[in-house]
Amino acid sequence: MSDSISGSLELTNEWDRYWKGSASANAYSAGGSKHPVLQQFWRELFMSSLSEYPHGRMIDLCGGAGAVLSAAEGLSVSEGTELISLDISVSALELVVENYPYVKTIAADAAHIPLKSETMDVVSSQFGIEYAGEQAMAEIARLPRKGGKLALVLHHSDGLIQQECAASADAIARLIDSDLIPMARDMFEKGYAMLRGGGSNDFHSAARAINPVYRSLEPIMDDHGVQVAGETISTLYNRIAEIQKNLPRYEETEVVDWLEAMASELPAYADRMVSMCQSAQSPEQFKSFCTHLSEMNYQIQQAHPQQVADTTLPLAWMLVAERS
């Protein structure tokens, strides 16, 4: 197997693990992908595009479970309009089909899009195409036909989401390094053995051993707030204490399954947070991409950092360009 194929398969598996975890939401919740400002941006774009291209072809690239597509819900779509979602993760596309059965799906790497050039009226991507690298950024520019639009929302290297991702990556890394989850499982299993008539020494010994590790979550929340990583840290902190205090009220299989799900999902979540930080676009990178589009006969209609209330940090880069 070649290195490129092996790397692509590894990337696919990583995103599949992430989106499977997102579907069950044991470890985290959705972040800024459905921020009201972004939803309004996409809704306005869809409203104008559906009018401008009544029988058009629209593709959302690296769209995950369909955050962009959700903005089109309730809008009148003309017969003959084709909506397509492309993502490297089959698990993500399964969520798209479940939520938006009228959308066609393509499982592919955005750096190698299996579509002909100049065949799309609208090409969109939100917090996705930048993960696929510079080749994907160049690849998407060939898809819109003359008069077609390219609409992108990109991670900002100095932005609010970038800051939140860095905090979440640090929090989850510290949680994983603490071994709290396997220790909690061991303690609870010994607790249930005690409830079935076994001795109590093993349970109390495990409880004493886990206490300083459990307390290690407190400085994580002090550093980053209780909402860090979609409240994963605070949820784990509170639920472990609640289950330990009221162990007979909980089914052993439910507790063990919950901890196993957390343990399996957290690495993929941490990897995604790190990827977000690494893929965020600097002002220089964003300007360079806009220049590249201009050289390809695109007319830049919007190109700016999106500000939101209550913070001086930008939410994202916003870009809309029309091919002439």
Residues 137 and 284 in one domain: yes
8 pLDDT higher than 90: no
Interatomic CA distance for residues 25 and 47, integer angstroms: 31
Q: What is the mean pLDDT of residues 13-36?
A: 56
Residues 225 and 285 in one domain: no
- State which of 277, 292, 309 marks the end of a domain: 277
pLDDT band at 6 (very low <50, low <70, confident <90, very high): very low
Q: How far is CA 15 from CA 45, 48, 169, 269, in A?
A: 27, 32, 16, 9
Interatomic CA distance for residues 15 and 89, integer angstroms: 6
- The percent of residues above 90 in pLDDT, for the chain, comes to 71
Residues 177 and 230 in one domain: yes
Residues 185 and 298 in one domain: no
- Angle, to 10 degrees, between the axis of helix 180-195 and the axis of helix 160-178? 50
Residues 53 and 149 in one domain: yes
Q: What is the pLDDT of residue 180?
A: 98
29 pLDDT higher than 60: no
Q: What is the mean pLDDT of residues 79-97?
A: 91
Q: Which residues of 241-274 are buried (b: 16+ CB within 10 A; e: fewer)?
A: eebbeebeebeeeebeebbebbbbbbbbbbbbbb
Beta bridge partners of 106: 86
322 contacts 299 by C-beta, under 8 angstroms: yes
Which CATH number does the domain housing residue 100 bear?
3.40.50.150
Domain holding 44, by residue range, is 31-159+280-323
pLDDT in tens, 230-243: 999 999 999 999 99
In a domain, 17, yes or no: no
Amino acid at 112: H
286 pLDDT higher than 90: yes
Q: What is the mean pLDDT of residues 212-239?
A: 97
In a domain, 247, yes or no: yes
In a domain, 25, yes or no: no
In a domain, 11, yes or no: no
Residues 82 and 146 in one domain: yes
Residues 143 and 46 in one domain: yes
Interatomic CA distance for residues 204 and 220, integer angstroms: 26
Residues 37 and 149 in one domain: yes
Q: What is the mean pLDDT of residues 13-42?
A: 63
Residues 58 and 100 in one domain: yes
In a domain, 21, yes or no: no
pLDDT band at 18 (very low <50, low <70, confident <90, very high): low
Q: What is the mean pLDDT of residues 52-81?
A: 84
pLDDT in tens, 134-157: 889 889 999 999 999 999 999 999
In a domain, 24, yes or no: no
In a domain, 181, yes or no: yes
Q: Does the pTM of the predicted model rise above 0.85? A: no
**Start-to-end C-alpha separation, the chain:** 42
Residues 91 and 207 in one domain: no
Residues 38 and 152 in one domain: yes
Residues 113 and 199 in one domain: no
Joined tokens for residue 213: 């590790």
Concatenate the DSSP letters of all residues of 217-263 into one string: HHHHHHHH-TTHHHHHHHHHHHHHHHHHHTGGGS-HHHHHHHHHHHH
pLDDT in tens, 147-198: 999 999 999 999 998 999 999 999 999 999 999 999 999 999 999 999 999 9
In a domain, 166, yes or no: no
For residues 298 and 269, which has the higher predicted lDDT (pLDDT)?
Answer: 298
Q: What is the pLDDT of residue 30?
A: 39
Beta bridge partners of 245: none
Lowest pLDDT segment from 12-21, 72-81, 106-115, 168-177? 12-21
Q: What is the pLDDT of residue 305?
A: 96
Q: What is the pLDDT of residue 11?
A: 52
Looking at the structure of the chain, the number of domains it has is 2
